[in-house]
Structure 1
């Protein structure tokens, strides 16, 4: 299991194995390899812990622990974790500031605790089966365990089509869960995981008259199905997020194979809980959109797909200075008109930056980072791409409708055809990458 994620820590490997737990840690050292080797223990060696990432406020925490009589052997940030737990129990996680995934085991209480940082910079996933728990920084480590099956999670597949990407706790593997940002869980051998939220983004309610003005300005949605979907998902029938979901359900129905289509009501990701709906009540539209982006786009898509997996594949760590908990908590209280002034985005940030950054950079128009997409790949006449999208392959896998995929291949391969990413969905790119996933993990063809 540790070898499967050796790229995340090529500098050293540490183990702790006893009759109940087995911990393995692969370390990417920033400041030397000696003092920070893990797993770490408390003075009694009854609490063993591993921490990935960095605890930013460890100096303050270390001083607190020393004042309370704890003996710490190193100046490493990760050593504070077992001692914090010893002092504060499971609430220790609320005192951490940083980007981290933490796991620990209390031998005396026979209690395992796992936690992911506030914004989900650092991943943590697990699978629970038969009273046992298997965990890892990446799913590929979990899948190395002989006890873990790996069928496709069709709701996860539907999330990839419908949303910016997967949304924790869902993954592409049925039964494997990703710990959501700001979330912790505990587990006792023979039991089941108990999950709780220790932090969430909190915006103040919008001014009542502002809500009325915005509702009047927005007008009504003519499609009653779409209005019901928006009200149920986003807390307002006039609130638009990404796309017309009623119409896109029909698009997905055409793309899925007949057996999968028969289960569309069951696997439709919008029919499953995505966010805490109560958190959206009474919010200004800008804050509503911001909250949804933090939950549906930031952690698993931007920080995970485009961040953590990319840098750690090359054994590199990265930092996000704007994802500071105190900074984010403060900015949640800043009025929306200082964040978006008219049509000028990042207004407040630009005012702060003018004294530090050249004006041409501050005033530069925002632009996205987009790759050419599947139309470009199809027009390369690459035999490997053609094989992955061939009628024979699509029929054999059983997840998608071969006729529909064939039509998309012809359409996408037309000279001059382009997809306006990110405003239009590259359906074939998802089909392509999903087929590669099936091959990489030897996943089974769909069986009803």
Structure 2
């Protein structure tokens, strides 16, 4: 595990070695153990290493036998031992015991098709000195990141945005369409970034640079289910087999290894299968709240699993929200380098910080919700289909007015807001309706929020509306299957995996996600949607697969999520922090939003007439980021 950077130039001797070293130095947290560089005609490669496999001999960059192919690599290849055996049978001579070295020899044999042989999470850069070509590759699901910037035929790349922000001449101009999209999704959807000109290599894509030109193309995509459906038992047994193999492969490590444990189905499954794989006494970590604090505390459920499997369990609690969030939020923004408003970043930051004190690698249950329909919005979108059968006159004349008059009181949490969104979007087509479940601000709300100057700029750039997430994937006759594919393509890499990577690497911790082993994902894609959301039961097939492995009261509990009591904090211990960053003066100085519109949101939330927690948090995060990166 590490971070990588590089620069390739159209002219011989065009590489600025000091720049490559400076870019690499900015991601020391990703790899505090070592660094390494290769400089040749037109090329400069750099890496930071977090030593996990072949601790002593796995130094990068790594080359082939005659030093004509070089690689820097971020991630883990879980089938590397099998690949090594095959390479040696074909006559290759490997000098290390690392997974990285496999890449240069696979490239010699298969060229850009090498990615089809890899099972793991990765971003790599391979330099072919004979042909003067650079190959970038990113794993199928987007677990590991890669950003790039093109300029006058040159290409610069790095594992994080901060690497590219070190380049002199690259202006930090705000990408206004990306800002608009951020206000919808609470993250900037790839492949764009918040900065004009900087792009992200999409998941399951490779990029090929040659003679000053750079082309990106897809190498893998999920296939829709085919053939006659099988029985539920068939899918449950097959899923358990795939998960057991994936977890076993993800345990390869020469350093201490543990797991995040929330007490939900996904993390409990990972811990159970780790223990069943003979991992021994697994080190597990859970976040909770102090007694008397408002918020979901999953520690009792986590203790159930920790006790059943005899883990070495540690719990960490929130004690002083104002101080902790005020201290953490700038660090969180520095880990992302662009605004990111998923509030679960806070507990994820804390658990990564806690885990790193004891382990270098942690396994996570990330991905289970997107594969097996674990989010409430799936049920909501499908419930709307049934709700539409109620005569329109009854819905619009009686039910909608009643729901819209419901007060958004504290005890209701986000449910009243969700119910109002549900009724307001019920007559929309599914892609638009689904977007309303996801959005912090809808298009009308953004029109009220932006100031006139920004609105005029967006019009000039022909950015009429944020693209619908479901339009990013082929339509499906099955609405649930369509939503799941949309989340796998958008929300999973751009929110969940981005969050996991940045916050773990900020603490020099490698997090692995067995649910997103591509063999598991391909098997799950073939399971009929009716076995994922069965009636009102989410993750039905996963529950069947884990029956007898995880206690029934854990399998049957309602999903609560890795969340914080945001609404109460924003009008309570964080109120002064929010008011400082979202004051009329601060909003006016930034120059994007209408200060009166922001003030209205704050006042309505304080008076508890509306629950604007998501909107306020999205704006707060942007302003904290803006102060760090734009108003430096």
Question: Which category of TM-score, normalised to the shorter sequence, fits these structures?
Answer: 0.7 to 0.9
**Alignment correspondent of 2:437:** 243
| Residue number among 30, 36, 43 corresponding to 2:52 in the alignment | 30
**Alignment correspondent of 2:39:** 17
Are 2:319 and 1:298 equivalent residues in the alignment? Answer: no
| Aligned 8 A contact 1:8 1:313 in 2 | yes
Extract unaligned runs of 5+ from structure 1.
208-212
Question: For the structure 1 residues 13 and 269, does the alpha-carbon distance in structure 2 shift closer, same or farther, using more than 3 Å as the test?
Answer: farther
Are 2:474 and 1:286 equivalent residues in the alignment? Answer: no
Report which stretch shifted further, 32-41 or 97-106.
Answer: 32-41
Question: For the structure 1 residues 383 and 350, does the alpha-carbon distance in structure 2 shift closer, same or farther, using more than 3 Å as the test?
Answer: closer
Q: What is the rounded CA distance, in whole Å, between the counterparts of 2:505 and 2:462 in structure 1?
A: 32
Counterparts of 1:18-417 in structure 2 under 5 Å? 18-31=40-53, 33-163=55-185, 165-191=187-213, 193-204=214-225, 219=388, 230=429, 234=431, 240-243=434-437, 248-265=442-459, 266=461, 268=463, 270=465, 272=467, 277=472, 279-305=473-499, 307-373=500-566, 376-380=569-573, 384-414=577-607, 416=608
What is the CA-CA distance between 1:32 and the residue it aligns to?
5.3
Are 2:447 and 1:426 equivalent residues in the alignment? Answer: no
Question: For the structure 1 residues 242 and 40, does the alpha-carbon distance in structure 2 shift closer, same or farther, using more than 3 Å as the test?
Answer: farther
**Alignment correspondent of 1:210:** none
Q: What is the rounded CA distance, in whole Å, between the counterparts of 1:17 and 1:163 in structure 2?
A: 40
Normalised to the residue count of structure 1, the TM-score between the two structures is 0.86
Q: What is the rounded CA distance, in whole Å, between the counterparts of 2:200 and 2:571 in structure 1?
A: 33
| Aligned 8 A contact 1:167 1:295 in 2 | no
| Aligned 8 A contact 1:103 1:113 in 2 | yes
Q: What is the rounded CA distance, in whole Å, between the counterparts of 2:66 and 2:519 in structure 1?
A: 34
Question: For the structure 1 residues 368 and 214, does the alpha-carbon distance in structure 2 shift closer, same or farther, using more than 3 Å as the test?
Answer: closer
Q: What is the rounded CA distance, in whole Å, between the counterparts of 2:471 and 2:602 in structure 1?
A: 38
Q: What is the rounded CA distance, in whole Å, between the counterparts of 2:207 and 2:471 in structure 1?
A: 18
Deviations 1:83-134 (A, max 9, x none): 1111111111121110111111111111111111111111111111111111
Q: What is the rounded CA distance, in whole Å, between the counterparts of 1:325 and 1:350 in structure 2?
A: 20
SS in 2 for 1:412: helix
| Aligned 8 A contact 1:61 1:80 in 2 | yes
Report which stretch shifted further, 402-411 or 434-443.
Answer: 434-443
Deviations 1:350-404 (A, max 9, x none): 1111221122212222112222336623543765543321111211211111111
What is the CA-CA distance between 1:185 and the residue it aligns to?
0.9
SS in 1 for 2:484: helix
**Structure with greater proportional helix content:** 2
Q: What is the rounded CA distance, in whole Å, between the counterparts of 1:228 and 1:87 in structure 2?
A: 55
Q: What is the rounded CA distance, in whole Å, between the counterparts of 1:114 and 1:176 in structure 2?
A: 16
What is the CA-CA distance between 1:190 and the residue it aligns to?
2.2
SS in 2 for 1:280: coil
SS in 2 for 1:23: strand
Q: What is the rounded CA distance, in whole Å, between the counterparts of 1:292 and 1:22 in structure 2?
A: 37
**Alignment correspondent of 2:413:** none
Are 2:630 and 1:442 equivalent residues in the alignment? Answer: yes
Q: What is the rounded CA distance, in whole Å, between the counterparts of 1:150 and 1:157 in structure 2?
A: 13
Report which stretch shifted further, 424-433 or 164-173.
Answer: 424-433
Q: What is the rounded CA distance, in whole Å, between the counterparts of 2:484 and 2:176 in structure 1?
A: 27
The count of residues paired between Structure 1 and Structure 2 equals: 425
Normalised to the residue count of structure 2, the TM-score between the two structures is 0.62
Question: For the structure 1 residues 353 and 286, does the alpha-carbon distance in structure 2 shift closer, same or farther, using more than 3 Å as the test?
Answer: same
Q: What is the rounded CA distance, in whole Å, between the counterparts of 1:127 and 1:71 in structure 2?
A: 35
Are 2:28 and 1:6 equivalent residues in the alignment? Answer: yes
SS in 1 for 2:533: coil
| Aligned 8 A contact 2:177 2:458 in 1 | no
Deviations 1:137-160 (A, max 9, x none): 110111112142221112222222
SS in 1 for 2:490: helix
Q: Which has the higher contact order (CA 8 A, sep 6+)?
A: 2
Q: What is the rounded CA distance, in whole Å, between the counterparts of 1:131 and 1:286 in structure 2?
A: 44
Q: What is the rounded CA distance, in whole Å, between the counterparts of 1:26 and 1:161 in structure 2?
A: 33
| Aligned 8 A contact 1:167 1:274 in 2 | no
SS in 1 for 2:508: coil
Question: For the structure 1 residues 418 and 61, does the alpha-carbon distance in structure 2 shift closer, same or farther, using more than 3 Å as the test?
Answer: farther
Q: What is the rounded CA distance, in whole Å, between the counterparts of 2:186 and 2:492 in structure 1?
A: 9
Q: What is the rounded CA distance, in whole Å, between the counterparts of 2:575 and 2:537 in structure 1?
A: 43
Deviations 1:318-369 (A, max 9, x none): 1111111112111111112211111111111111112211222122221122
Question: For the structure 1 residues 378 and 263, does the alpha-carbon distance in structure 2 shift closer, same or farther, using more than 3 Å as the test?
Answer: farther
| Aligned 8 A contact 1:150 1:443 in 2 | no
Question: For the structure 1 residues 330 and 364, does the alpha-carbon distance in structure 2 shift closer, same or farther, using more than 3 Å as the test?
Answer: same
| Aligned 8 A contact 1:153 1:174 in 2 | yes
What is the CA-CA distance between 1:268 and the residue it aligns to?
4.4
What is the CA-CA distance between 1:201 and the residue it aligns to?
2.2
Q: What is the rounded CA distance, in whole Å, between the counterparts of 1:111 and 1:36 in structure 2?
A: 24
**Alignment correspondent of 2:417:** none
Question: For the structure 1 residues 303 and 174, does the alpha-carbon distance in structure 2 shift closer, same or farther, using more than 3 Å as the test?
Answer: same
